Amino acid sequence: MTPYIKEQLEIFISNLVQAAKAMLLYSPEHRVTSGHAASALGSMNLILAAEDTLKIIRIGGELFVSGIPLEKNPHVERLNQQMSEYAIGHISLMRGAGSADILLLMRIVAGKESSKLKSTPHLIFGAVELDDARTAPGEVSQPIPSYSAIPGELMARVASDFESCTAREHFDLQAVMALVAGFITSFRGEANPLLALVPLREMDEYTFTHSLDVCILNIAQGMSLGFEGQLLHDIGIAAMLHDVGKQFVPPEVLNKPGELTDDEWLEMRRHTVHGAHYLLNTPGMPRIAVMSAFEHHMKYDMTGYPSVPKGWQTNLCSQITMVSDCFDALRTRRVYKDSMDFEKAAGIMLKIAGTGLNPALTLNFIKVLRKMGEQ
């Protein structure tokens, strides 16, 4: 989100809420109401001239646009509260939206619309359905669907592509993008994207297979949260590259078959900073991929690493990646640990939801996986 869009978004939300409040006192035609409505329309048009869609997503009681939490103020809070009231997970305003759409939003913010919301051609309401996802650890009983073999030849080709396209000397962003685009296309056509999860692999392939898995899990999460187009694509890229900094960790540390010493841990932890630096210097790299490489080990309560100044807020994409990363790490516990079934992994994730992981994303993730497992 550019500073200009951010500013217009603030103006949009503030005028929308003020127009809705005015509507409670005056008619929609009154100059106070119509003045704010016109300003909201003006800002919306400016945003939609720059972007195809303006999507406001509500996750865990917070509003996000392009993966970035909206700064809290009374207007944002009011919109947030009304989205919760109407059980709206996300609002998408598409280019072509007009004053009738603004009026509908005003009626929602004013609490005057009936509870049965209807989308219009340019204003779509979506549900994220987090409410009934409160699953106790014991209740999660669906196993991960069994792996349907990706032909070995294809796998080998993809593996070597990934290795060469992320190698320090000739990083090929286009190749990674094509890989992710391929995943998204095949998920759209496939009943169950989880079938594409790679089986447990030998250690030397761990980072590659882990990156593929995290990519698949991120896309599954992103789709369930209503992300589309470029953002969904970028969330996949971010997952594919979140551990790219591991190529800067000495192999004897990376592949050590046992507990790491304190110094080795320090070395290992640097993969976040190395990765972010590396991606930052790659032209065309989505910003959220750089953020995710840097932030994917910062816990929800900010006790992870690397250390950052007080008040740092992690990007939503990094938090999504953290959930996928945690699940895959549990599922494929390596070297001296055994792999884990879904029930056990989900139980551990629920235990650290709220401290290690974003609780709303974790509940949604488990729900999405269960749903896929039931297909």
**For binding to Fe ion (CB under 5 A), which residues are involved?**
243, 325
Cβ closest to Fe ion, residue 101 vs residue 328: 328
Shortest Å distance, C-beta 76 to Fe ion:
32
Cβ closest to Fe ion, residue 93 vs residue 317: 317
Q: How far apart are CA 232 and CA 218, in angstroms?
A: 9
Cβ closest to Fe ion, residue 89 vs residue 275: 275
- Give me the residues paired with residue 69 across strands: 64
Cβ closest to Fe ion, residue 234 vs residue 325: 325
Q: In this structure, what is the dihedral angle of CA atoms 81, 86, 90, 92, given to the nearest 10 degrees?
A: -110
Cβ closest to Fe ion, residue 243 vs residue 295: 243
Shortest Å distance, C-beta 147 to Fe ion:
19
Shortest Å distance, C-beta 325 to Fe ion:
4
Cα–Cα separations (whole angstroms), residue 264 to 75, 109, 203, 307: 48, 53, 18, 17
Q: How far apart are CA 55 and CA 78, in angstroms?
A: 17
Neighbouring residues of 30: CB distance < 8 A, sequence distance ≥ 6: 22
Shortest Å distance, C-beta 296 to Fe ion:
6
Cβ closest to Fe ion, residue 101 vs residue 243: 243
Do the Cβ atoms of 320 and 295 come closer than 8 Å?
no
Shortest Å distance, C-beta 255 to Fe ion:
15
Q: Determine the distance from the C-alpha atom of residue 254 to the mean position of all C-alpha atoms in its chain, rounded to a whole number.
A: 27
Shortest Å distance, C-beta 64 to Fe ion:
23
3-state secondary structure labels for all residues of 183-249: HHHHHHHCCCHHHHCCCCCCHHHHHHHHHHHHHHHHHHHHHHCCCCHHHHHHHHHHHHCCCHHHHHC
